[in-house]
């Protein structure tokens, strides 16, 4: 499967959308934010010191803070399915949300992100074919190059790799203030203009592995995924971006994997995913 054993689905609307990743039960997760302007939901619980270590869903969305409502739709659907953290009051789905800023923020009739999140999650549960690249789901309204007064089209990007016996995949919605760059780095002589769109950016991503990792190791994996951001975006992690990564480990692989090897591969896979987002 394209996202290992995780299920995934999209909801695509006019200039915006939602992408939902449903990892298998027992998946451990952590994450890290390096941009200065994030829009996130339940991200604090990903810190290695927090009690809960499971993740039931990761929701990538457009719509900036409005798009975080997509998590409500996913949460209600998973609860109805009996999925989530067991509590005396019933299951509480652990749904982490990350959102980017697209044109839907200015729409007079703003999309129903909660409904969109529910439809994307239902598509994942139903096994609807999942597109891993292009202007679909959370990447529908994504653009890059805004530091040069441009709106170059981008979208979702995907890549995969192996670290010994372990598999690594990355999915990114690339809406960066800067440019997507190749392995040779940024071109010389590029002088950006004053920032015309200082708040309408953000690259959000998920990295998954089948290795068995604890929460601290997942945090290290997220940090390495951000190294991939720095290799494929110029500039990356600016005050105008909300760059954030969630790292998930399904634990299905019984063999021991060297964490540093896994981290090195993760950096490369994330950079490749970001580069694949450009048409």
Torsion from C-alpha of 218, 219, 225, 226, nearest 10 degrees: 170
Which of 113 and 195 is assigned the larger pLDDT? 113
CA atoms within 13 A on the CB side of 2: 20
Residue-level pLDDT at 198: 67
User: Number of structural domains, the chain?
Assistant: 1
Where do we find the tokens 């929460």?
Answer: 215
User: Which residue segment(s) compose the domain that 23 sits in?
Assistant: 7-275
Residue-level pLDDT at 133: 97
- How much is the pTM? 0.96
Residue-level pLDDT at 195: 65
pLDDT in tens, 20-45: 999 999 999 999 999 999 999 999 99
Which whole number is the average pLDDT over 218-238? 97
The C-alpha atoms of residue 162 and residue 81 are separated, in whole angstroms, by 33
The C-alpha atoms of residue 223 and residue 140 are separated, in whole angstroms, by 26
The C-alpha atoms of residue 19 and residue 119 are separated, in whole angstroms, by 10
Residue-level pLDDT at 72: 98
- The answer to whether position 245 is within a domain reads yes
Give the other-Cβ count within 10 Å of 240's Cβ: 21
The CATH number for 196's domain is 3.60.70.12
Average pLDDT along the chain: 95
What percent of the chain clears pLDDT 90, i.e. is strictly above it? 89
Question: How does DSSP assign 224-239, residue by residue?
Answer: HHHHHHHHHEES-S-T
Which of 151 and 215 is assigned the larger pLDDT? 215
- The answer to whether position 149 is within a domain reads yes
Residue-level pLDDT at 84: 95
- The answer to whether position 150 is within a domain reads yes
- The answer to whether position 1 is within a domain reads no
Q: Is the pLDDT of residue 110 over 70?
A: yes
Residue-level pLDDT at 150: 86
What percent of the chain clears pLDDT 70, i.e. is strictly above it? 96
The C-alpha atoms of residue 275 and residue 216 are separated, in whole angstroms, by 28
- The answer to whether position 112 is within a domain reads yes
- The answer to whether position 69 is within a domain reads yes
Q: Where are the alpha helices (DSSP H) in 101-214?
A: 113-126
- The answer to whether position 2 is within a domain reads no
Q: Of 167, 142, 178, 170, which Cα lies nearest the Cα of 226?
A: 170
């Amino acid at each position: 499967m394209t996202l290992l054993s995780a299920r995934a689905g999209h909801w695509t609307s006019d200039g915006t959308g939602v992408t939902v990743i449903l990892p298998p039960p027992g998946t451990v997760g952590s994450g890290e934010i390096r941009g200065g302007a994030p829009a996130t939901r339940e991200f604090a619980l990903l810190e290695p010191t927090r009690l809960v270590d499971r993740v039931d869903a990761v929701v990538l969305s457009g719509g900036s803070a409005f798009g975080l409502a997509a998590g409500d739709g996913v949460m209600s659907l998973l609860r109805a399915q009996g999925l989530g953290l067991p509590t005396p009051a019933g299951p509480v789905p652990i749904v982490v949300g990350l959102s980017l800023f697209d044109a839907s923020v200015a729409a007079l009739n703003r999309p129903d992100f909660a409904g969109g999140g529910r439809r994307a999650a239902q598509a994942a549960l139903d096994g609807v074919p999942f597109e891993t690249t292009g202007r679909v789901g959370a990447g529908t309204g994504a653009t890059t190059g805004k530091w040069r007064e441009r709106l170059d089209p981008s979208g979702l990007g995907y890549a995969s790799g192996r670290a010994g016996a372990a598999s690594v995949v990355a999915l990114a919605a690339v809406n960066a203030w800067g440019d997507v760059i190749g392995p040779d780095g940024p071109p010389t002589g590029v002088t950006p203009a004053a920032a015309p769109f200082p708040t309408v950016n953000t690259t959000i991503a998920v990295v998954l592995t089948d290795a068995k990792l604890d929460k601290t190791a997942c945090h290290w994996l997220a940090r390495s995924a951000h190294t991939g951001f720095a290799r494929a975006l110029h500039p990356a992690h600016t005050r105008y971006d909300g760059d954030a990564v969630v790292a998930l480990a399904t634990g299905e692989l019984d063999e021991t994997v060297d964490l540093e090897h896994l981290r090195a591969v993760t950096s490369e896979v994330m950079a490749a995913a970001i580069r694949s987002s450009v048409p």
